[in-house]
Amino acid sequence: MTEPNPSFFVVGTDTDVGKTVASLMLMRFLIRTGHTPYYWKPVQTGCLSPNYAGADANFVLKYCPELHQTADDATGACFRAPKAPFYAARDEQSSIEVEDLLHKLAYLHKNNTLVVEAAGGLLVPFSRTHMLADMVQLAVEQFGIKPVLVARAGLGTINHTLLSIEALHRRGIQPAGIVFVNNKEHRTPQAMLQENMEAISTFSNYSVCGCIPHIEDFSNPPEEAITLFEKIVG
């Protein structure tokens, strides 16, 4: 049974694994199933501003024209350096206050179906005292937001995915689902894709919900890129 306002924290096994693409496909699924999701990127690094062409919020909202959200609304803090959030903020003589982000998250979660996208992998320094995984733990404990783990499809993903699951388990968190993302530069052979899925299922007891294929046109993505989220949302 689908929750009235399901909310998700899209986290990755590493940087550049496809979290933004997965967030967009999750948003498209939620819109299709009658929700009005709200996308939020608490911290963006490697970006001049939320409206910059390469900003994650700008990309996601471009392909969700039904939503009345701006990239500024959808972004918490934005830092220029493409680094772990703590160090990107420190370069600008700034800091990330976890309590402030949690207050904002509480406000957004109250009346919205949320898709929150993380920055980097789970064990990157997020603030002076917290890793990203700690922020995810607080979101789960305080608001019941469910983490969706995004991983690359190809070589190396078994190790990265199993380590990320261990990091979640150490904090008492179970992922709501695992999603692979294939990209143009390193398309994974089908045999390896199946082996990777089998290994993760065998050693973690979590099945990969599916693989988002390379998408040429984000305004018209493949159907399987959207429908695989039915296994996560319900």
Q: Kindly state the tokens that stand for 143.
A: 């608001």
110 part of the active site: no
What are the residues whose beta carbons fall under 8 Å from the beta carbon of 212, sequence distance 6 or more?
18, 21, 22, 25, 179, 180, 181, 182, 224, 225, 228
Q: In angstroms, rounded to a whole number, what is the distance separating the alpha carbons of residues 93 and 168? A: 31
What number of CA atoms fall less than 13 Å from residue 78's CA on the CB side?
17
Buried b or exposed e, range 86-111, using 16+ CB within 10 angstroms: bebbbeeeeebebeebbeebeebbee
What is the amino acid identity at position 153?
A
Catalytic residue among 19, 41, 83, 146: 41
- What DSSP character marks residue 92? T
Q: Kindly state the tokens that stand for 147.
A: 């983490």
> Which amino acids are annotated catalytic?
41
